[in-house]
Homo-oligomer: A and B are copies of this chain.
Amino acid sequence: MNLRDLGEDALLARILPRLKGGKGVLAGAGDDCAVLRFSGHNRLLLFKTDCLVENIHFRSQDDAAAVGWKAMMRPLSDFAAMSGVPEFALVTLIAPQRTAVRKIDQLYLGLQRAAARFHVSIAGGETSNTSGPLVLSVSAIGFVEKRRWVSRSGGKPGDDLFVTGRLGGSGKGKHLRFLPRLEESRWLTQNFRIHAMMDLSDGLGADLPRLAKASKAGFTIDKRMLPLSPGAKIEHAISDGEDYELLFALPSRHRRRLERSWPTEFPRLRLTRIGSLTSNIKHQTFRPGGYVHFK
Contact = CB atoms under 8 A, between A and B. Distances in A.
Interface residues of A, number: 70
A116 interface: no
Interface in A140-177: 141, 144, 149, 151-152
Nearest to A89: B47
A125 interface: yes
Contacts of A72: none
Contacts of A88: 47
A35 B46 contact: yes
The interface centre, meaning the residue of A8, A44, A294 with most chain B CB atoms within 10 A of its CB, is A294
Contact of A294 (B8, B45, B57): B8
A263 interface: no
Contacts of A33: 46-48, 78-79, 81-82, 84
List of 10 A-B pairs having minimum Cβ-Cβ separation, nearest first:
A132-B132, A40-B40, A32-B81, A139-B139, A38-B45, A32-B78, A8-B294, A36-B45, A33-B46, A34-B47
Given A6-B294, A47-B88, A94-B135, 19 more contacts: A8-B294, A33-B48, A34-B48, A35-B45, A36-B45, A36-B47, A38-B38, A40-B40, A41-B41, A49-B125, A49-B139, A51-B92, A51-B137, A56-B130, A92-B137, A127-B293, A128-B293, A130-B133, A131-B133
